[in-house]
Amino acid sequence: MNPTLLVPEPLSAAAFAPFGDVIEARDSAQRLPVNQGHAERYHDLARVELAGHGARTLISIFRSHPRRFPLFLGVLERHPLGSQAFMPLAPLPYLVVVAPGGDADAPDLQALRCFVAAPGQGVNYARGTWHHPLLSLHATADFLAVDRGGPGLNLQEHALAPERFCIAAPPGPAAGAP
């Protein structure tokens, strides 16, 4: 079987809405002056979701290493008890792969999508959204992560058939190398 080729599309709030929120300092955001007028707050950019007794918000840093392309995807994951947000700490693009829920235990692989996040864009995966782990492109990158901690199983994985879904080449420099 020939692999399904995923073509990265630009990440936008409208295109990503079925999967969660795009986090960015955009003109349409509610903006508030803070710190005696020396800073501006882009307010309420994402909905943090926490479910289950004893849930708490975690703030972590994920360090993601660049991938080699062409890239065959091997797994999708979701977090049924909370949202998960990633905000890059350096001005680097990265890829975001998502799928809506199909039946109760599997993603709808016919609707798998790939987005390229521009420098300065983060994502907040809504609770239960199937997504691929971080996909850094050209360099090792740190991401601020906000997600759920506490009791309960908050990670489900779905293995993908080998060589079924492929991203041929990322946008930008050095397609074959980290």
pTM of the model: 0.91
Q: So what's the pLDDT on residue 73?
A: 96
> b vs e for 68-106, b when ≥16 Cβ sit within 10 Å of the residue's Cβ?
ebebebeebbbbbbbbbbbbbeeebbbbbbbbbeeeeee
Within a domain: 178: no
Q: Does residue 73 sit within a domain?
A: yes
Q: Structural domain tally of the chain? A: 1
Give the whole-angstrom CA distance, residue 123 versus residue 19: 9
Q: Give the CATH number, domain containing residue 103.
A: 2.60.120.480
**Is residue 158 one of the residues assigned to a domain?**
yes
Is 72 a domain residue?
yes
Residue numbers of the domain that contains 12: 4-167
pLDDT at 168: 87
Amino acid 177: pLDDT: 40
Predicted local distance difference test score (pLDDT) of residue 173: 55
Query: What CA–CA distance (Å, rounded) separates 71 from 52?
Result: 36
pLDDT at res. 160: 96
Provide block-wise average pLDDT over 10 residues at a time, the chain (178 residues): 90 96 93 94 93 95 95 96 97 96 84 96 96 95 96 95 88 50
Residue 173 is assigned to a structural domain of this protein:
no
- Distances in Å between the Cα of 88 and the Cα atoms of 58, 72, 101, 158, 175 are 16, 23, 26, 25, 20
